Chain A
């Protein structure tokens, strides 16, 4: 950890810092020792912070023009698109920003899965992350309802009806959520309120997420603890700031491509038809980032069990630090886990694909097999693997592979040469 004996140089700074140690905090963040072997998969934390700020800023500006009323919401969104200065730009950034946010969070989560970042002593960081992910899904769902198109309305109907699966109190809960006997104006106004609130809850949790991260420090691609801070780490600024900044630029190019060239490709055309409580669109599909869970919901033929399976698929992640019994963090040194990891990635992608397809015939069969495998991975394969797997010897330190003591000797040697040149 960086030293907390920091004293500002200026007199004013010292006076201020003695009363509120903000400068000490800034100093800690600047000097924060970071493993020097972090790769580009580690830049998504910064990218996600950018996504959150983008959503908050564009969301605030949209809220200045949007009207949360069942009779006016749809029209006010069109008003934003046609009349408000740069309204189209702000709304497209916000709508595609949600997708970019999920894209980044999935990469961030799968980074942790590969390098075992959820393992001791980083369980709390991981669990806070899962809570953030849950809140993101809630915010995205409620935000999707606000334009009050056909997909908004029927998506809201289907998702709120999930609660009706709860025995005895289910119907009462659904009526309470709706504030009526169907999705209607009271539902829209409360969704808008909560959609506005959740990003700030996420912001608070992000602070805790980073705070919890700064206690043990970053995990790294080798997955071993820092031996000598002077040898194994670099200060966060400027090294990581520059690397994160470069990755962010690359990410923004992808972001801008969607916003300017295909702003509607990730949405559904049906949502440009105003909500009609008498007609359900022929094919209801959630946004792409929820598809794997939707596939799990539909693969179970029973209503209550389907809902339980879908929720368990998300909540099982919170138990991951205890389900994975292996002491070795990084998949680089776990030859078997590495294979199962890629099977899991394929499994989730397959679930996402069949989630977008009609739930019948072969698609349904594939969804059922993929759902079964998803739970098998977490509940059977991971616990057993920790005892059965023969892992590759770990290097002595983060610096070790660079100096030639590693299993990846040849690559280390090459790197060393290029560095010396």
Chain B
């Protein structure tokens, strides 16, 4: 034990373990990665929605990547209300301008950031959305105001292809 010299055999053992570990990793990774979203799921990554028939004060729900997306055409009062909220009052501070590029249109994932339920439209203490599962209240900008949800409802990547069509994703 006192004078332990690295022998040829020690080197061979270490080299064998190292190659073996790489081999095991190379076999295990495909087994794990096969569970990630596959090519066909990823291919459905964008949806186009015609919003020409929507009047102010109306919300529609569309399915995108298996999840509901809320599209609300907000009234002038709602926009004013969303903009008037002070940042200090928010759990997850975010300006309304940053959430709705065009203030008239609010586009966000209709998924509660707590545990993934679909919040109900025009309910709750803040005239926005209310999640029935565990009682999270969102305001008219989709920001969390009260309840267990940690963050605001997510705004997905979207753009206006033309005046009447929104492309999500």
A26 interface hit (Cβ, 8 Å): no
**Is A317 part of the binding interface, using a Cβ–Cβ cutoff of 8 Å?**
no
Which of A154, A280, A303 is the one whose CB lies under 8 Å from B148?
A303
The reply to whether B116 and A184 form a contact with Cβ atoms under 8 Å apart is no
Cα A278 to Cα B32 in complex, Å, equals 30
Contact with A along B53-93 (1 / 0, CB 8 A): 00000000101011110000000000000000000000000
Q: Quote the shortest CB–CB distance from A280 to chain B (angstroms).
A: 4
Q: Chain B: interface secondary structure?
A: loop
Could you say which residues of chain B place their CB within 8 Å of the CB of A175?
36-37
The CA of A160 and the CA of B131, in the complex, are separated in Å by 17
Is there an interface contact between A277 and B68, defined as CB atoms closer than 8 Å?
Answer: yes
Identify the stretch in B21-29, B132-140, B158-166 within 8 Å (CB) of chain A at 4 or more residues.
B132-140
A347 → B minimal CB distance (Å): 22
Q: Decide: A182 and B66 in contact? CB cutoff 8 A.
A: yes
| B131: chain A residues within 8 A (beta carbon) | 280
Within 8 A of B (CB), among A351-402: 358-360
The answer, among B35, B67, B68, B114, for a CB contact under 8 Å with A179, is B35
Partner of A277, one of B66, B132, B149: B66
* Contact (Cβ within 8 A) B35 A154: no
Q: Answer whether residue B115 sits at the interface, using C-beta atoms and an 8 A cutoff.
A: yes
Q: Establish whether residues A158 and B37, one from each chain, have CB atoms under 8 Å apart when the complex forms.
A: no
Chain B nearest Cβ from A13, distance in angstroms? 44
The answer to whether A278 touches B118, judged by C-beta atoms less than 8 angstroms apart, is: yes
Query: Could you give, for residues 113-153 of chain B, a 1 whenever the CB lies within 8 Å of some chain A CB and a 0 otherwise?
Result: 01111100000000000011111000000000000111000
Asked whether B31 is an interface residue with its Cβ less than 8 Å from the other chain, the reply is no
Q: Within 8 Å CB of B38, what residues of A?
A: 179, 186
**B19 on the A face (CB < 8 A):** no
Q: How far is the CB of B118 from chain A (nearest CB, A)?
A: 4
Are B118 and A302 within 8 A (Cβ)? no
Which residues of B sit under 8 angstroms from A306, Cβ to Cβ?
A: 148
Q: Which of chain B's residues have a CB closer than 8 A to the CB of A360? A: 135
Partner of A282, one of B32, B61, B114, B132: B132
Contact A182 B117 (CB under 8 A): no
* Smallest beta-carbon distance A71→chain B, Å: 13
A92 to chain B, nearest CB (A): 29
Chain B residue nearest to A282 (CB atoms) is B132
Across the interface, which residues of A come within 8 angstroms of B118, CB to CB? Answer: 277-280
Interface size on B, residues (CB 8 A): 25
B148, A302: Cβ atoms under 8 Å?
Answer: yes
Q: Are B117 and A186 in contact (CB under 8 A)?
A: no
Q: Are A277 and B63 in contact (CB under 8 A)?
A: yes
CB distance from A113 to the nearest CB of B (A): 31
* Interface presence of B41 (CB below 8 A): yes
Contact mask for chain B residues 33-54; partner A; CB cutoff 8 A; 1 contact, 0 none: 0011110010000000000000
Identify B67's interface contact among A176, A182, A359, CB under 8 A.
A182
Q: Complex formed: what's the CA distance from A190 to B31 in Å? A: 13
- A152 within 8 Å of B (CB atoms): no
Contacts of A182 in B (CB 8 A): 65-67
B132 surroundings in chain A (CB, below 8 A): 280-284
* Set A157, A177, A277, A283: member contacting B35, Cβ < 8 A: A177
Q: Which of A184, A186, A302, A359 contacts B134 (CB 8 A)?
A: A359
Min CB distance A293 to B, Å, is 14
Q: Are the C-beta atoms of A180 and B66 separated by less than 8 Å?
A: yes
User: Is A301's beta carbon under 8 Å from chain B?
Assistant: yes
Q: A180-B65, A181-B66, A280-B133 are in contact. Are A158 and B148 (CB under 8 A)?
A: no
Q: What is the minimal beta-carbon distance from A396 to any residue of chain B, in angstroms?
A: 51
B114 partner, pick from A154, A178, A278, A303, beta carbons under 8 A: A303
In the complex, A373→B36 CA distance in Å?
41
Is there a chain B Cβ closer than 8 Å to A222's Cβ?
no
CB distance from A77 to the nearest CB of B (A): 21
Residue A220 at the chain B interface, CB threshold 8 Å = no
- Does A183 sit within 8 A of B, measured CB to CB? yes
Please tell me if the beta carbons of B67 and A277 are within 8 angstroms of each other in the complex. yes
Instruction: For chain A, residues 237 to 283, give those with C-beta under 8 angstroms from any C-beta of chain B.
Output: 277-283
Is there a chain B Cβ closer than 8 Å to A298's Cβ? yes
Q: Provide 20 A-B residue pairs closer than 8 Å at the C-beta atoms, listed in order of the A residue.
A: A154-B117, A157-B116, A158-B133, A161-B115, A161-B116, A162-B115, A175-B36, A175-B37, A177-B35, A179-B36, A180-B66, A186-B37, A277-B63, A277-B67, A280-B118, A283-B132, A284-B117, A303-B149, A306-B148, A358-B135
8 smallest A-B Cβ distances: which pairs? Answer: A182-B66, A181-B65, A161-B116, A280-B117, A161-B115, A158-B115, A280-B118, A157-B116
Besides the known contacts A157-B116, A162-B115, A303-B149, 13 further A-B residue pairs in the complex with CB atoms under 8 A apart: A158-B115, A176-B32, A176-B35, A179-B41, A180-B65, A181-B66, A183-B66, A184-B41, A186-B37, A277-B68, A280-B118, A280-B132, A303-B148
